[in-house]
Structure 1
Amino acid sequence: MYSKNTIFVIGDSKSGRNKPITLRYNQFFLGLVIDMSSGRIVGAECSATIGLTNRFIHSLFVDQLMDDPVILENISTRYFGSSQKALIVAYNDALKKYNQISAALSSNQT
């Protein structure tokens, strides 16, 4: 389904105590598939409790560059689910991991 040029990164965060996501999964997870040749996100899914949330989050991330600040802007201005803060933290965690992987791959090529 995904080319050999892609990687999978998962970011996680804690969600509020009484949030449905916390009750079901204990944490909030955001999985991203990234094309390493372009830095473009080609797949996204999270530990949402309903499918519509997953589809909406997918639309916020897919076709965006991994480090594009518009992602955080879109989360803040378009996503008003109870896990908004958890989504931001999970994205930042995934971005940190992506940057580490990018740096490691770049140093291996030199």
Structure 2
Amino acid sequence: MFPPNTLYIIGESKTSSNNAIMQQYNGFFIAFVVERESGRIIDAECSSTIQLTSAFIQSIFLEKCILDVEELLAEIEQRYFGSSQKAIMVAFKNAYIKYTQIMNK
């Protein structure tokens, strides 16, 4: 399904304790499939209680570059107004850090 030149990376964060995601998953997670050399995000999915949330978050990241941190964070701030906004941003930054660590080995 995914070519051999891709990486699977999960970013993690916490959200408020009264958030349904936190109650169901005990954390917030975004999974990314990223092309190793280019950093292009070819798939993304997150832990969410509503399927539309996961699809919307996927639309923010799909076909973007994981290295475009500031642009992606700005897009999250400008487009996503759910209670998990900060958790999404933190999880993305966590995945970005993991990607850079992998690429610097």
TM over 0.5: yes
SS in 2 for 1:12: strand
Q: Please identify runs of 4+ aligned residues in structure 1 that moved more than 4 A.
A: none
Alignment gaps of 5+ in structure 1: 105-110
* Counterpart in the other structure of 2:97: 96
* Counterpart in the other structure of 2:30: 30
Residue deviations 1:12-67 (CA, integer Å, cap 9, x gap): 01110100101110100010000012110001000011110010000000110111
1:57 aligns with 2:57: yes
Q: Which residue identity lines up with residue 28 of structure 2 in the other structure?
A: F
**TM-score, normalised via structure 2 length:** 0.96
Give the whole-Å Cα distance in 2 for the aligned partners of 1:63 and 1:46: 16
Larger Rg: 1
Give the whole-Å Cα distance in 2 for the aligned partners of 1:3 and 1:39: 14
SS in 2 for 1:63: coil
* Counterpart in the other structure of 1:74: 75
Give the whole-Å Cα distance in 2 for the aligned partners of 1:103 and 1:72: 23
Alignment gaps of 5+ in structure 2: none
What is the number of residues matched between the two proteins? Answer: 104
Deviation (angstroms), 1:8: 0.4
SS in 1 for 2:10: strand
Q: Which residue identity lines up with residue 4 of structure 2 in the other structure?
A: K
